[in-house]
């Protein structure tokens, strides 16, 4: 991890602490792998690797009833798979859920298999009225606690989506 990336990761982690997050359930995307390693090593969080993204949704929803502020961390492809879970659980029962994801498939992402994420991820979130914060510049990281609070106030899922450049500390 470069010094710039370490700094960006540290900024994100501190905003999670500021938000009060205690539990992080995740599946990796290589853009967030270093963030996951950092969270895993940080004893301010309970880190739970899950078998699929829907399990992270289930765990975080239960953690809400256990009084544990939590976050589901996943790649864009993972977010595309949890539409059923969040619309059935979170929308039906008005359960807040805080999600971190990646803005894969946008201009600059060299991996062709992420094209569908680039084409549809934000449109998908719009289509199900899923609020999201796009983090395209480092200064936006400081708004993470606001996004978490919005989820709690509205009793709905809220997504924070990062570009690769921000995660690498290059934006």
Partner 1 sequence: MDLRDCFKYFASRQEDGVVITSAGVTSGTWWRTTHDLDRAFYLGASMSMISMFGAGIAMGAPKLPVWVFMGDGAFVMNPGMLMVERDLNLPNLKHFLVSNRVYNATGAVPLTNAKRNDYAAIARAVGIERVFEIDSLEGLHSQFDKIVLEPGHTFTVLEVEPLLEKPGGVPLDDVESKIRFGRYIEKKAGIKIFRHPAPEPITNR
Cα distance between residue 75 and residue 53, in whole Å: 9
108 is a contact residue toward partner 1 (CB under 8 A): no
Where in 114-143 is the site for partner 1 (CB under 8 A)? none
Query: To 10 degrees, what angle do helices 3-19 and 33-41 make?
Result: 60
94 is a contact residue toward partner 1 (CB under 8 A): yes
**Nearer Cβ to partner 1, position 8 or 27?**
27
61 is a contact residue toward partner 1 (CB under 8 A): yes
Least distance from C-beta 146 to partner 1, angstroms?
Answer: 12
Least distance from C-beta 67 to partner 1, angstroms?
Answer: 4
**What phi and psi, each to the nearest 5 degrees, are found at residue 125?**
-60, -40
Site residue total, partner 1 (CB under 8 A): 34
Core vs surface per residue 49-88: b (16+ CB within 10 A) or e:
ebeebbbbbbbbbebbeeeebbbbbbbbbbbbebeebbee
Q: Which residues are near partner 1 by CB under 8 A?
A: 23, 46, 48-52, 54-68, 70, 84-85, 88-89, 92-95, 149, 152-153
């Amino acid at each position: 991890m470069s010094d710039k990336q370490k700094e960006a990761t540290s900024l994100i982690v501190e905003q999670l602490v500021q938000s009060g997050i205690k539990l992080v359930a995740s599946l990796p995307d290589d853009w967030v792998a270093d963030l996951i390693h950092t969270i895993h090593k940080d004893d301010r969080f309970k880190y739970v690797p899950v078998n699929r993204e829907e399990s992270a949704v289930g765990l975080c929803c239960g953690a809400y009833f256990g009084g544990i502020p939590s976050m589901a961390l996943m790649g864009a492809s993972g977010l595309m798979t949890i539409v059923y879970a969040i619309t059935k659980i979170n929308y039906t029962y008005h359960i807040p859920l805080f999600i971190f994801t990646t803005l894969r498939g946008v201009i600059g992402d060299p991996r062709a298999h992420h094209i569908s994420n680039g084409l549809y991820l934000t449109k998908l979130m719009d289509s199900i009225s899923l609020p999201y914060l796009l983090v395209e510049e480092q200064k936006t990281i400081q708004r993470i606690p606001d996004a978490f609070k919005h989820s709690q106030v509205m009793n709905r899922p809220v997504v924070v989506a990062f570009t690769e450049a921000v995660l690498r500390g290059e934006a």
